[in-house]
Amino acid sequence: MNNRLKIRFTLLGIIAIAVLSGYACYPKIFDAPLKKIGIEYQNPLKIHLGLDLQGGTHLIYQADLSKIDSSEQKVSMEGVRDVIERRVNAFGISEPVVQISQKNRLIVELAGVKDIGQAIKMIGETPYLEFEEEISWEEIKEQIEAAGQPLPEKEPQGPFFQPTSLTGRHLKRADVSFDPQTHKPMVSLEFNDEGKKLFAEITERNVGKLVAIYLDHLPISVPVVNEVIRDGRAVISGGSFEGAEGLKEAKLLAQRLNAGALPVPIKLISQQSVGASLGKASLDKSFFAAIVGLIILSLFMILYYRLPGLLAVFSLGIYIMIVISLFELIPITLTLAGIAGFILSIGMAVDANVLIFERMKEELRAGKPLALAIEEGFVRAWTSIRDSNISSLIICLILFYFGTSIIEGFALTLGIGILISMFSAIIITRTFLRIVGGTRIGKYGRLFGVAKKQ
């Protein structure tokens, strides 16, 4: 494949990426022409706004791990986080954020929540694990009649369960293991002395029946009892543990069982509310600042670098659409700090173009042809661009790993922006310059910031 054909294919790829990114960012522009040809499509992508931009409540809980062995503290915190996520989702809160911070703290962000008091009450409860056994409709009817209550007109569909005396306080541990014959994942349960006795009684009267395990009154597993278990050790296998996601499901069930078996009390230590109007004002100011900065930056590049500057602005526009579409695809919850990281990455994207253009101008002043000057400019500037961006990415990784949620958002958006900026400068801008350099326009040095004619 010759060089000219390679440039054309690269340009087609850039156009395809730009169109797809543009549709992700601005679907309304594409919806109208699609409807004219009979295609109606609802774009599911959208920017996820953080608490500081959407409004809501930021809660910080501290867990009491004093009674938990150090080797089990991480698993216990993950289990409690999972329980809180289930509670928040059941409450109907849109796009909640629940994450572990500083080993024993949980950060809960509830965007757009209305009844914060009820949400706090639900979150603050200690996880409760219980075991329920199957009961027939005939037994239920006997209980209803004994209580003097009227029977329902229509017989409800089972299966039905009733609570037992076995709860999370009787469960010592739940672990993921593998069947020695089939090598499929399964979950092993071990009960304490009191639990061993209760579990033996339950299994004895429920062979061939279901025994449901509930966490916070919601079923997390409904296994069938195959035999009487008297040693306090049981295994849950099959069912959802089949297939590629089997191990993941087994780990999740063990985590949930341990969350109920090892209750970790949590205490609310901080609560901060952000009004929806304040969040909208912050969002509007952020976008205004970004637009003003982008306009000033574009004017500088065009006035100082002439035609290369104009091509860099086009490249920058594609860069912005790609980054925004990635924010939607991943997705990334955008906060004020995240917007700051994104705007900073725009400046770094321009910085790479500046290095390339200055090196290119040096080659042109030395009397080299434009096509060669373009290639030499990119080659000579690449090491500086690479080293500066790698050092910035290292800082982003450190901030993301050790920082709090706000700093993590800044580091993540900045890191993604840096990676895409390298693609923008080295691929997009370079392709535009190569195309222009191969036309008659490339013969005029003034368009490239050089006084003499090429």
The domains of the chain, with CATH numbers, are 3-45+275-448 (1.20.1640.10), 56-269 (3.30.1360.200)
pLDDT digits (tens, 9 = 90+) for 124-173: 767 788 999 999 888 888 888 888 888 888 888 878 889 999 988 899 88
- On the CB side of 343, CA atoms within 13 Å amount to 19
113 contacts: CB under 8 Å, gap ≥ 6: 56, 57, 93, 119
Q: What secondary structure does DSSP assign to 367-403, as a single string? A: T--HHHHHHHHHHHHHHHHHHHHHHHHHHHHHHHHHS
Band (pLDDT 50/70/90 cuts) for residue 212 is: very high
Q: What angle do CA 98, 103, 105 make, to 5 degrees?
A: 45
d(CA 369, CA 437): 9
Band (pLDDT 50/70/90 cuts) for residue 204 is: very high
Band (pLDDT 50/70/90 cuts) for residue 195 is: very high
The whole-number average pLDDT for the span 432-437 is 85
pLDDT digits (tens, 9 = 90+) for 368-392: 888 888 889 899 999 999 999 999 9
The whole-number average pLDDT for the span 6-30 is 82
d(CA 289, CA 333): 20
Facing residues of 274 across strands?
A: 56
167 contacts: CB under 8 Å, gap ≥ 6: 128, 129, 130, 131, 260
Q: What is the pTM of this model?
A: 0.64
Structure tokens at 394: 């290292």
Cis (ω within 30 of 0) for the bond into 152? no
User: Is pLDDT of 453 > 50?
Assistant: no
Band (pLDDT 50/70/90 cuts) for residue 95 is: low
34 — alpha (psi -120 to 50), left (phi > 0) or beta? alpha
CB atoms inside a 10 Å sphere around CB 332: 20
pLDDT digits (tens, 9 = 90+) for 38-83: 666 556 667 777 777 777 788 889 988 887 788 878 888 888 888 7
Amino acid code (one letter) for 131: F
What distance separates the 2 farthest-apart alpha carbons in the chain? Answer: 105
Look up residue 262 and give its DSSP letter.
Answer: S
Pick 358 or 281 by higher pLDDT. Answer: 358
Structure tokens at 227: 């035999």
Look up residue 94 and give its DSSP letter.
Answer: S
The pLDDT > 70 percentage for the chain reads 87
Residue whose entry in the numeric block shows the structure tokens 């069912």: 239
Q: Which of 91-95, 106-110, 199-203 has the lowest mean pLDDT?
A: 91-95
Q: What is the pLDDT of residue 387?
A: 92
271 — alpha (psi -120 to 50), left (phi > 0) or beta? beta
User: Is pLDDT of 351 > 90?
Assistant: no
Q: What is the pLDDT of residue 32?
A: 63
